[in-house]
Amino acid sequence: MTETTVTKKSKNQKAPKLFPDELIDQLLAQVQNKDAESILGESG
């Protein structure tokens, strides 16, 4: 039984994307332009 569970897990290695890569790139660019304190301050 362990062999079948391992094969099932190996098929599902790719996790579904919650956000498109373009959006992630935009967010990363915004974060890199600010320091941690300003980001934490904006979040409330």
The secondary structure of the chain as a DSSP string is: -HHHHHHHHHHT-SPPPSS-HHHHHHHHHHHHTS-HHHHHHHH-
- pTM for the whole structure: 0.36
Residues 6+ apart with CB under 8 A from 39: 31
Residue 8 is predicted with a pLDDT of 56
Residue-wise pLDDT for 15-43, tens only, equals 777 888 998 888 888 888 777 677 677 66
Q: Are 28 and 20 in contact (CB under 8 A)?
A: no
9 pLDDT exceeds 70? no
